[in-house]
Amino acid sequence: MMRQTTDNKIRRWGKWLLPLYLLAWMALPAMSATKAAADSAYTQGRYQQAIALYEQLLGNGQSAELYYNLGNAYYRQDDITHAILNYERALMLAPGDADIRFNLQMAQSKTVDKIVPESEMFFVTWYRSVVNLCSVDGWAFYAILTLALAIVLALIYLFSNPVWLRKVGFFGAAAMLIVFVLTNIFAWQQRRELMYRRGAIIMEGAVPVKSTPASDGTDLFILHEGTKVNITDDTMKEWKEIRVPDGKEGWVESKQLERI
């Protein structure tokens, strides 16, 4: 009698599980078809439809490729501001991608504000360019690779007889450990950029930057749509203190910009 009850339970659960399995199996090609449909809409010149599809896909998870394609669709629609916003988001996820950087520069060349960044020490610029060679995942991969090489070289040092080979193992292991530490630092910095996003894009045509977080504050200067700024004070809901690459600072309304 107990065996019969168990079999009935199995059959009853099976009636529910089978449709769920079928739905899950059918959902996989549907998801890929949505990406294919977005790409197809873009290649056929239906950019508004492509934008809607790419944004729907991004609702399921971030991707540098999707942000890049979305930026291209906005660019084709002459919506330079949203193109820049999505190129910046793509570049944050894939900082070493030359195509994303090139398209971003092309879009930025069409903005009103031509801001010359503050000068900085050459080694700071060089260091930042090195950090931006890879994404978080890229630097993590190199960290694991260099650690593995360091272990192999350490074993060569410990168990080899020729003096020259022991020297290669010792100095090679030491060098790989240094590179391992550096790649971890680079990965940490890239992760920090993703977690604490301070970059933002001005989204309105002409935005007055105020001396104080109030509508009656003194206008310091004007920024136009598409200009990238850094948020320096994020403690207020309605206002954000921003810093322009040339060093100017002030307050803008939160609704006038969008965080990268």
CA dist 92 and 191 (Å) reads: 10
Instruction: Please report which helix (H) or strand (E) contains residue 251, including its range.
Output: strand 249-253
In CATH, the architecture of 199-259 is Roll (2.30)
| CB-count exposure of residue 60 (10 Å: 0-12, 13-18, 19+) | exposed
CA dist 177 and 199 (Å) reads: 33
- What's residue 31's pLDDT? 45
Q: What are φ and ψ of residue 129, in 5° steps? A: -65, -35
pLDDT tens per residue, range 98-126: 999 999 999 999 999 988 888 878 888 89
Helix (H, G, I), strand (E, B) or coil at 220: strand
The pTM of the full predicted model, rounded to 2 decimals, is 0.80
CA dist 67 and 55 (Å) reads: 8
pLDDT tens per residue, range 238-256: 999 999 999 999 999 999 9
2-108, which class in CATH? Answer: mainly alpha
Q: What are φ and ψ of residue 134, in 5° steps? A: -135, 160
